[in-house]
Amino acid sequence: MTEFDVAIVGGGFSGCAVAAHLARSPEQGFSVALFEPEPLGRGAAYGSPHRELLLNTRAFQMSLYGSDPDHFVRWLGPRAGRMEFASRRLYGDYVAEIAEHCFSRPRYERVPERVESVRRGIGDRFIVETANGCFFARSVVLATGNPLPNDDFLPLEVRLHAGYVADPWRFDYRAVGGQVLVIGSGLSALDVVVALKSCGHRGHVHILSRHRRFPEVHADVAPYDVVPALEASGAGALLRSFRRHVRDAAARGFDWRAVVDAIRPESEALWRRLSQPEQRRFERHLRGLWERHRHRAPIQVDAVAQAYRNGGRLNAYAGRLAGMRRGTVTIAGRDGTTIALHPDWIVNCSGVGRTSAMVRDRLLRGMLADGTISADPRGVGLRATSSLAAINSQGSPVSGLWIVGPPARGSRFEATTVPELRAMAELVASQILNAMRYERWEGRQQA
């Protein structure tokens, strides 16, 4: 059986970033395998066939290396400026290029297969199993990414509809025409409108969400000159002190966006200061508000939605999808009205899936069932220590098993965008390197 020092499961941004950080280490000689059946570096975010989709963060924030913040900007060259929103596909090219470079090195191997199970084998090794074979690994990094949006809240007839799109991120919208119902009004919903426009769609778009609230829009603003000291004794206190800061900032001529951006590096620490019940309150009442202000849409993206709206081709509804019969969807509006629609397509943009969506994946389902990993009580992801070691069903850290990327949302406030993901990847790579250094030292002592 082939043995690797490190097995990385998933070759989207997170898995590739772990490999890239390992490859940057001056010490080499260890072996790394990356398991990914799809093209490298793309994953859910950067694999859409539509070139018109833009990053929702500016180029200067998107380097794969935190210690070299202009790496992506240099790679882009004249194709986009550091303050611009580059194409998401182009960003996928960037990550793929770094990953291809890593995997051209000796002892770095790409296995183009899906991992079906990971379990403890003999001694401290893991057995990583695909449909075609088994591998041993000393460390395993789970970088399996964004679960597809939950759809257990949708009526069966919606899910069985011929035009139902369960994966809004990788779908090719060229075939889509007529009436399109989009469930959710976040950034992914706006992306659907952009993709439709780029394909020459001439029909109508209906957007349904609980409150009919769209993401805020980016603007060029002066950075806030204060690191806001927020009161984190509870979710309500946090909101009140945030509002106070926004008011103070506005009085001094600063935009609220600058305050949000100044809080961002502190948000993880603030989150950890909240008690568990307060974290749950935040999750229930404030998470959506924070995300709408923190994950903003580029103005160009918002303009496309506006153009649809101005042309009378976009309607937004606040309510819920109450049922579907013989192709007619019934929307129960928050204002008590009932609306009937006859969509040709229904796109689920209800957000990154929670733990209940993760178990659709065979690998994670198996690992949860045998207790190797565990779900967090909020139901948003997997449990991990602050250093990203997986926590098993007994509540103990699993030595050598790491979680990077969106599945770690169970233990992190922010595990979504590139600045957080690259820090997570770097943290895990450095711990793997330390463990290997220690093993070598121990080996030398025993020799």
Ligand X SMILES: Cc1cc2nc3c(=O)[nH]c(=O)nc-3n(C[C@H](O)[C@H](O)[C@H](O)COP(=O)(O)OP(=O)(O)OC[C@H]3O[C@@H](n4cnc5c(N)ncnc54)[C@H](O)[C@@H]3O)c2cc1C
Distances (CA, A) of 411 to 109, 188, 278, 389: 30, 24, 15, 11
Nearer to ligand X, 133 or 178 (CB): 133
Of the residues 7, 15, 186, 358, which one makes contact with ligand X according to CB under 6 A: 15
Distance CA 83, CA 74 (A): 13
Q: What is the CA 13 to chain-centroid distance, rounded?
A: 9
The 59-98 site mask, x for binding ligand X (CB under 6 A), equals ----------------------------------------
Shortest Å, Cβ 236 to ligand X: 29
Q: For the chain, what percentages of helix, strand and coil (3-state, to nearest 5) are there?
A: 40, 20, 40
Question: Judged by CB under 6 A, does residue 372 bind ligand X?
Answer: no
Q: Which stretch binds ligand X (CB under 6 A): 31-39, 173-181, 245-253, 435-443?
A: 31-39
Long-range contacts of 334-341 (CB under 8 A, 24+ apart): 334/210, 334/211, 341/179, 341/181, 341/206
Question: Judged by CB under 6 A, does residue 405 bind ligand X?
Answer: yes
Q: What are phi and psi of 318, to 5 degrees?
A: -100, 120
Looking up tokens 């790679």, which residue turns up?
75
The 321-360 site mask, x for binding ligand X (CB under 6 A), equals ----------------------------------------
Burial bucket for residue 355 (CB in 10 Å: 0-12, 13-18, 19+)? buried
| DSSP helix/strand/coil, 315 | strand
Nearer to ligand X, 138 or 409 (CB): 409
Q: Which stretch binds ligand X (CB under 6 A): 3-11, 149-157, 194-202, 383-391?
A: 3-11
Nearer to ligand X, 37 or 311 (CB): 37
8 Å CB contact between 274 and 232: yes
Distance CA 115, CA 411 (A): 24
Nearer to ligand X, 9 or 274 (CB): 9
Shortest Å, Cβ 85 to ligand X: 8
Q: Which stretch binds ligand X (CB under 6 A): 54-62, 75-83, 249-257, 276-284?
A: 54-62
Question: Judged by CB under 6 A, does residue 417 bind ligand X?
Answer: yes
Crossing angle (nearest 10°) for helices 299-310 and 187-198: 70
Of the residues 4, 14, 138, 206, which one makes contact with ligand X according to CB under 6 A: 14
Shortest Å, Cβ 129 to ligand X: 10
SS (H, E, C) 146-161: CCCCCCCCCCHHHHHC
User: Rule CB under 6 A: which of 131-190 touch ligand X?
Assistant: 143-146, 169, 188
Distance CA 345, CA 177 (A): 8
End-to-end CA distance of the chain: 26
Of the residues 6, 18, 56, 296, which one makes contact with ligand X according to CB under 6 A: 56
Shortest Å, Cβ 10 to ligand X: 3
# of chain residues touching ligand X (CB under 6 A): 33
Non-local CB neighbours of 69 within 8 Å, separated by 6+ positions: 60, 63
Nearer to ligand X, 56 or 150 (CB): 56
Nearer to ligand X, 119 or 437 (CB): 119
Question: Judged by CB under 6 A, does residue 282 bind ligand X?
Answer: no
Residues that bind ligand X (CB under 6 A): 9-15, 35-38, 43-45, 55-57, 114-115, 143-146, 169, 188, 361, 363, 405-406, 416-418, 421
